[in-house]
Amino acid sequence: MNDNFIKVKTENGTNIILEILDMADDISNNKTYILYKLINNEDIFISRLNEKENSFSIETIDDKDEFDAIEQFFINKLEENSGEMSL
């Protein structure tokens, strides 16, 4: 599989393939966040990425403050790297 794609299990148990746009680790909270698109879909999503025994799952970020902070992090990073871009 291409390095920009990952197979994950969703919260409802479905296996899907994601196109990874960016990732970020929050070492203080031991969390990994992923900015991604679904195959054949232009919508961009942010979720927590969990790894367990060489398998991956994604988890919805329910806390608004946590989501807002990581969304702003990715927006700032995208703007720094490629000019203006909005999610």
Structural domain boundaries in the chain: 5-62
pLDDT for the residue 1: 47
In Å, what is the CA distance from 31 to each residue of 18, 24, 61, 80, 86? 18, 8, 11, 23, 23
| Phi, psi angle pair for 66, to nearest 5° | -65, -45
Q: What are phi and psi of 73, to 5 degrees?
A: -60, -50
According to the model, what pLDDT value does residue 40 have? 84
pTM of the shown model: 0.80
pLDDT tens by residue, the chain, 87 residues: 457 999 998 888 889 999 999 999 998 889 999 999 998 888 999 999 999 888 899 999 999 999 999 999 999 988 887 655 445
pLDDT at position 60: 94
d(CA 1, CA 72): 30
